[in-house]
Amino acid sequence: MGKAIHHQGGHGSGTSMKLVVNLMLAQSMAVFAEAVSFGEALGLEKEAILETLIGGPTTGAFLAGKKKKLLTNEYTVEFPLEHIQKDLNLVTGEAYQNHSSLPIANLTKEIYSLANQYGLGKEDFSAIYEFLRPPQK
């Protein structure tokens, strides 16, 4: 999953950290897709938006790897949207069990759930852009 090894503690701690990482991936991708969609709604060109955002202070490095998918609208699977939705369900369930309020995670889970219902579950999770983007003219 990465280059560095970070021991998290006892039994189950690695799984817990995986949920934390996947929560960040899901939320980052959804926020990025929404920002690109908003830029397009304002009349900006998608490629210019991506060039400006990727590598800037507000985007994670993994988003550079999603650029081609967003430009071509082809979402070859690296991490299926339905799997990120499953992990978000696990995150919110664990949050409930541990008396932790995660309002943004719950909203993100519902967005991915709707995208899955929309038929994007088997696509890469970056296909959340397809669900959030403005209607095509």
- Residue in 18, 46, 67, 86 annotated catalytic: 18
- C-alpha 120/C-alpha 70 separation (Å) is 14
Spatial neighbors of 133 by CB under 8 A, at least 6 apart, are 33, 36, 37, 40
Length of the chain in terms of residues written: 137
Task: State yes or no: is 18 an active-site residue.
Answer: yes
Where b means 16+ CB within 10 Å and e means fewer, 7-22 reads: eeeeeeeeeeeebeeb
Spatial neighbors of 84 by CB under 8 A, at least 6 apart, are 22, 25, 26, 29, 112, 125
List, by residue number, the catalytic residues. 18
